[in-house]
Structure 1
């Protein structure tokens, strides 16, 4: 059966996840993380994709990216995959694939943009790798929240709207981490990336459906079938 085409629109952010094959690690050393970030910087520049956030986990990657045109994101990920896997295989004397199939992606509406960005940068905390996001070296939190230079990061308009000056944006963004992401929102972020649809308001989803001619909303998990009742 042919694979369904991705939800892909120019200038609309996408949340991306790519996992290691069978849950295996795709990063072993600091040099591995640095190599991936170099490849991400080169590929995002080559294909004109704006990276707003990232978190490189030991066995998977989270990205928040806005492509400038349809197809740019796929080209970016293919370039990263090709070059990083070549490096990884040569470094660790292995062959074959590193990633678990195609990367997953979903469109993100503006109203979910910042919460998705927080979700990504909190991933190391949820995984128990660190106690706070600032302690993790391989995410964009230090740039978005603390102002450390990162040539990768292009702030999204929703982030820049947090304040008149960049310092105000960073302060407001840091303060947003003091509140937990609601369980329903966590569920929706995970469900939409798993089903690879369009996470946002009903108006956003309607625009996506009109543009792509496809149903954009995630389908809720099926309830277990009821057992037939035995007549008494």
Structure 2
């Protein structure tokens, strides 16, 4: 079956994940982290993408970014992936692919989900039990968003900027939201939408994206056509034959 095109709208943020093949480790030491971070910086500038949140994990990485052109995310991921694989294979004397197929991504509603997805991304090292607090992990945007530490890779989204009139106010508000945590239901919703490439948002937002792209933005309810009036009519007709 042919793969459906990705949901892409310039100006709308997306959550992106790229994993190492077979959960292989892609970042082994500090030099690897710096190289990947640097290629992401280069690619974001080159292909007109704003990265609002990120985390670099030993066998995968997450990005929350807004593209400003149709091919921005695809080009960013292609550029980063190609140069990192060349670097990694040369450094460690290996050959072949490093990535687990295509990157996974979900277009999301910035008004309601940009900050929760940012927290989801930056909480990754805590959920993986690498650190006790997000503050303790060096390779994420948390220091920039929550503490105001300069990070060339991170560009604040307007939703983040609306958290306060000053940088200190925004950081304090972000930390308060971060400390509140995320429900398991929302975590599962974020994971499902990203892994299955559906739009992440409520019914109103998904309908708006559907009309703009002329595509269904979320999966059919379980049973699909079973819930349609035509299907119910067929069931009633079949019942009269028994």
- How high is the TM-score relative to the length of structure 1? 0.93
5+ residue gaps, structure 2, are 224-242
Structure-2 separation of matches of 1:218 and 1:17: 20
Give the alignment of 1:69-88 within 5 angstroms: 69-88=69-88
The Cα of 1:219 is off from its aligned counterpart by 5.2
Residue 5 of structure 1 corresponds to 5
Structure-2 separation of matches of 1:185 and 1:218: 17
- Greater Cα shift, 82-91 or 213-222: 213-222
Structure-2 separation of matches of 1:48 and 1:161: 22
CA change 1:221–1:148 in 2 (3 A) is farther
1:189-219: CA deviation from partner (whole Å, max 9, x where unpaired):
0110011111112221111101111111245
Q: What secondary structure is seen at the aligned counterpart in 2 of 1:52?
A: strand
Residue 25 of structure 2 corresponds to 25
CA change 1:220–1:15 in 2 (3 A) is farther
5+ residue gaps, structure 1, are 223-232
Give the alignment of 1:158-173 within 5 angstroms: 158-173=159-174
Q: What secondary structure is seen at the aligned counterpart in 2 of 1:5?
A: coil
Q: What secondary structure is seen at the aligned counterpart in 2 of 1:199?
A: coil
Structure-1 separation of matches of 2:14 and 2:151: 20
- Greater Cα shift, 201-210 or 148-157: 201-210
Q: What secondary structure is seen at the aligned counterpart in 2 of 1:177?
A: helix
CA change 1:39–1:28 in 2 (3 A) is same
Give the alignment of 1:48-127 within 5 angstroms: 48-110=48-110, 111-127=112-128
Residue 197 of structure 1 corresponds to 198
The Cα of 1:180 is off from its aligned counterpart by 2.1
- Greater Cα shift, 173-182 or 100-109: 173-182
1:161-203: CA deviation from partner (whole Å, max 9, x where unpaired):
1101111000000111221201211111011001111111222
Aligned partners of 1:49 and 1:68 also within 8 Å: yes
Structure-2 separation of matches of 1:104 and 1:165: 35
- How high is the TM-score relative to the length of structure 2? 0.89
Residue 180 of structure 2 corresponds to 179
Residue 216 of structure 2 corresponds to 215
The Cα of 1:2 is off from its aligned counterpart by 2.2
Structure-1 separation of matches of 2:25 and 2:153: 23
Aligned partners of 1:195 and 1:218 also within 8 Å: no
Q: CA RMSD in A?
A: 1.2
CA change 1:157–1:218 in 2 (3 A) is farther
Structure-1 separation of matches of 2:202 and 2:4: 23
- Greater Cα shift, 91-100 or 192-201: 192-201
Residue 46 of structure 1 corresponds to 46
The Cα of 1:220 is off from its aligned counterpart by 6.5
